[in-house]
Chain A
Amino acid sequence: MATRSRALLPISFVVLLFLLLYLGLYLNPRHESDDSPMIGKLAPEFDLPDLIATGDRFSRADLNGQVSLVNVWATWCPSCRAEHDVLMRLAATGEVPIFSINWTDRPDSGGSREAALLWLGRLGNPYQKTGDDGENIAGLEWAVTGAPETFLIDVEGRICNRITGPLNDRPVPNPENRQEVRNNVGNIMKTVRKMVAGEGKCLTQDS
């Protein structure tokens, strides 16, 4: 009897430990590993030379007063190439303005400003404005961790969402593939339409 009660403590401890392990592994995390603390905050200040129109600038002020997307891309990035066609189709609908940051397209990454211009010339330009951020200045402020990355910005210039990886416009994204669902243009546009129908502000988590 005494030995049994003595064994009870470590056994219950181990059971508790496994329970915690299970919760940690199987509970759907509210925060994804690539969730950014930037979400919900105002987009950072930045002021970049316009890639195309010399002398013009692309800055924080361009993002006020409308719901928009800010796409981060580079010519050395193969997924950006795959995403470009998707962006062209989205831009053709005219539903949401897309801005972009041409990020670290510098020789030591295997890109250049010329390559970026050639890219837009050949493949088409889905962007209202593109900032030239060859030196990763705005990139550090926006906490860009890789290309492609897309930010959803509300009417006040707040970051509603940060989408890492290429966007897709599959009619039915594979529900097993979390990234494919999250990066699906159809799903993103549902959010955009809801925002535009309201006051244009970021939707809260539960709506």
Chain B
Amino acid sequence: MPYSRFMNGLIELNKGLRMMQKQLIKMVYLLLLLWAPLSAAAPIDSLIFETQLQEDRFKQLVQEIRCVKCQNTNIAGSNADLARDHRMKVYEMMKQGKSDDEIRHWFVVRYGDFVLYRPQIEARTWLLWGLPLLLIPVGAWLLLVQLRRQRVQATEEAPVVGALSESEQKKLDEVLK
């Protein structure tokens, strides 16, 4: 019964595809659900800024500072009371004319380096920041060595370039027919 086996196979395949489709739709819904809090998570403070530049600075800073109450988010994305107090503190310090670094410093002396999502560049963090830069020349060197080796190999084993032999041509014609 090769025909019914074939049909069974098709039915199974169809089932499988439908399952996959369902899974896919579920995934899309899940992604939408995960996305929703991100777009809705901008807590509302009615703060007034004199210039757009100040507002941008504020937005940048609250993105960078970790919420110490709910440690996997920044103070921009947290509704915790403490995060709100911290946002207000950032705002207040900006009003006092403090620089971004001074504001970051205010947080670091109280809560530690951990409070900044972007580690500062200092003596203790040069390796963290510098390693990628150090790895670029290393990678370039490895690439160069490899390329040179390949070139040497290529010249040593002279490649077969040229017209096809008669039998090879025949074979090719056969295949391309």
Cβ of B108 under 8 Å from chain A: yes
B108 touches A37 (CB 8 A): yes
Report the bound CA distance from A163 to B7 in whole Å: 70
Does B69 belong to the interface (CB within 8 Å)?
yes
Assess whether A114 is interfacial by the CB under 8 Å rule: no
Q: Does A136 contact B (CB under 8 A)?
A: yes
**Bound CA span A141–B112, Å:** 13
Residues of A within 8 Å of B82, CB to CB, are 136, 145-146
> Do B110 and A104 have beta carbons less than 8 Å apart?
no
B81 part of interface (Cβ distance < 8 Å): yes
Contacting residues, chain B, for A56 (C-beta < 8 A): none
Does A108 count as interface, using CB distance less than 8 angstroms? yes
Task: Given A36-B111, A37-B110, A145-B69, check contact A140 B81 (CB 8 Å).
Answer: no
B170 within 8 A of A: no
B111 partner, pick from A109, A139, A143, beta carbons under 8 A: A143
18 A-B pairs whose Cβ atoms sit less than 8 Å apart in the complex: A36-B111, A36-B112, A37-B108, A37-B109, A104-B81, A109-B81, A136-B81, A136-B82, A136-B85, A140-B85, A140-B110, A143-B68, A143-B110, A143-B111, A145-B68, A145-B69, A145-B82, A146-B69
Q: Which residues of B contact A139 (CB under 8 A)?
A: 85
Taken residue by residue from 114 to 144, chain A's Cβ proximity to chain B (1 for < 8 Å, 0 otherwise) reads as 0000000000000000000000100111010
Question: In chain B, what residue has the closest Cβ to A108?
Answer: B81
Asked if B95 is at the interface of the complex by the 8 Å CB criterion, the answer is no
**Shortest CB–CB separation between residue A41 and chain B, in angstroms?**
8
Q: Interface centre among A33, A104, A136, A141, by most B CB within 10 Å?
A: A136
> Who on chain B is nearest to A145 by CB?
B68
1/0 per residue, CB under 8 A from A, across B107-128: the answer is 0111110100000000000000
Nearest 4 CB-CB pairs, A to B? Answer: A143-B110, A145-B68, A37-B112, A136-B85
Q: Which single residue of chain B is at the shortest CB-CB distance from A37?
A: B112
A35 interfacial by beta-carbon distance below 8 Å: yes
- Counting contact residues on chain B (CB < 8 A from A), the size range is 10 to 19
Name the distance in Å between A23's Cβ and chain B's nearest Cβ. Answer: 16
B111 contacts A140, CB within 8 Å? no
Contacting B at CB under 8 A, from A2-38, are: 33, 35-38
Nearest CB of B to A11, in Å: 16
- Which A residues touch B85, using CB under 8 A? 136, 139-140
Do A38 and B81 have beta carbons less than 8 Å apart? Answer: no
Docked CA distance A140–B107 (Å): 10
Chain B nearest CB from A133 CB (Å) reads: 11
**B82 to A: closest C-beta gap in Å:** 7
Q: Which residues of A sit under 8 angstroms from B81, Cβ to Cβ?
A: 104, 108-109, 136
With a CB–CB cut-off of 8 A, which chain B residues contact A35?
Answer: 112
Q: Bound state CA distance, A136 and B88, in angstroms?
A: 11
Q: How far is the CB of B87 from chain A (nearest CB, A)?
A: 12
Chain B residues whose C-beta falls within 8 Å of the C-beta of A38 in the assembled complex: 110
A140 to B82, CA, bound (A): 9
- Identity of the chain A residue whose Cβ is nearest the Cβ of B110 in the assembled complex: A143
Complex CA–CA separation, A122 to B109 (angstroms): 38
Proximity bits, B83-103, A CB within 8 Å = 1, else 0: 001100100000000000000
Q: Which residue of chain B has the shortest Cβ distance to A109 in the bound complex?
A: B81
CA distance A104 to B68 in the complex (A): 16
